[in-house]
A and B are shown apart, each in its own frame.
Chain A
């Protein structure tokens, strides 16, 4: 099959960028979107041109590296899949396809379609962990957790940090990402001691990074390759607001 690509090309973080047209001919309908880009790049290199830079790693939908806005939709037209799981048979022959990087102030473009998602790392570093000495592995059944809680925690834990939620959000909000992490840890017994502090710190870091606020458009859960629900955002708000009004422990020596 043949498709026409409009690809964002940008030589470096501060270089001016623009859409460039490429004809991708004789592409197998069974090729993944990334394999199609590989073919285009091989031809570009053979012609002595600079290949299109794009992020990729596992190519099976679990690493969260791939990140393309395809025809204005994060990860392309199919629901619940990452770009690497999108196949060319999903497009009509002869179709024009636009390919752009995620657009967010917090995700600066490094080159072409590659953006820096370090802002997500800093949100995790602000509280997306459980600070307990682990030592050697304890017995798996030592702490029992209700099945429903495990399942809901696991649904949230599926987040691969790809950033599609930010890319698809009209506000450029990272609420779904942050909320998925807060929900994942906040539902498990080991996550309870730091639950309030975690929500406060991660929300504060999310704001510091310059992401937008949440208007509950719902575009993020539709774009999410792991189908994470905006119910996680409700949980994040609950944890954050509870922590904001919770009494603060204070040691006071009051004199008269």
Chain B
């Protein structure tokens, strides 16, 4: 068995793969949220940004394929590790096991991940491909956003999915340093605060846009 196979086979190695792919996706989300916030500055800037991205030609597709690969390995590892956990305790506690300290974010990470996957598929069909959009115009993201968030159900689904994204990011960011073995022992670690701050920023940045459109602030 070669080393890559051995790493992938082990539970510790799979978590390292999840941490690296997860951090790559977080880095993407940070640029994504910053770019999205251009929508508050009117149609010109965000549409220009969109043209710049699409003007890069091959580079855009390289980035998309890298993100797709990160999503795929993240999910495959997650599914395999979840399966491993289920097999590890075939008979549960008759009186239940009472969680003592685990956070809501950690306990919801698996189902939250499933919700995020459903959301990503919908989101790509909504704003990238445009086939679930009522009046999609290629190359006019400003219009697509304004028209796309006119529907209350769509806005509600986005907001729900973004709560899952925020919780997922919080536990993922905090735990990835440990999964990779780089978090240093400290009497006063700032890891929790950093993870909370970054996930709050990403969550808030994405969350205000559908609300602003629905409230008529962006039109």
What is the interface of chain A, defined by CB distance below 8 A to chain B?
6, 8, 18-19, 69, 71-73, 98, 100, 103-106, 152, 168, 170-173, 203-204, 206-207, 210-219, 221-223, 229-231, 233-242, 244-245
Bound: A27/B99 CA distance, A: 29
When the two chains form their complex, are residues B11 and A72 in contact, meaning their CB atoms are under 8 A apart?
Answer: no
When the two chains form their complex, are residues B95 and A237 in contact, meaning their CB atoms are under 8 A apart?
Answer: no
In the complex formed, the residue of A with least CB distance to B109 is A215
Bound: A126/B97 CA distance, A: 30
Bound: A168/B102 CA distance, A: 11
Stretch at the interface among B62-70, B83-91, B117-125, B198-206: B83-91
When the two chains form their complex, are residues A207 and B16 in contact, meaning their CB atoms are under 8 A apart?
Answer: no
Q: How many A-B residue pairs have CB under 8 A?
A: 152
Stretch at the interface among B32-40, B144-152, B154-162, B175-183: B175-183
Residues of A within 8 A of B175 (CB): 215-216
When the two chains form their complex, are residues B109 and A72 in contact, meaning their CB atoms are under 8 A apart?
Answer: no
Bound: A54/B103 CA distance, A: 32
When the two chains form their complex, are residues A72 and B185 in contact, meaning their CB atoms are under 8 A apart?
Answer: no
Bound: A205/B182 CA distance, A: 23
- Across the interface, B94 reaches (CB within 8 A) one of A98, A207, A234, namely A98
Bound: A103/B86 CA distance, A: 12
Residues of B within 8 A of A204 (CB): 10
When the two chains form their complex, are residues B84 and A103 in contact, meaning their CB atoms are under 8 A apart?
Answer: no
In the complex formed, the residue of A with least CB distance to B97 is A72
User: Which residue, of A106, A206, A211, A230, has the highest number of chain B Cβ atoms within 10 A?
Assistant: A211
Tell me the B158-210 residues at the A interface (CB within 8 Å).
Answer: 171, 174-175, 177-183, 185
Bound: A105/B12 CA distance, A: 19
Contact A171 to B88, CB < 8 A, known contacts A213-B14, A241-B13: yes
- Asked if B153 is an interface residue, CB under 8 A from chain A, the answer is no
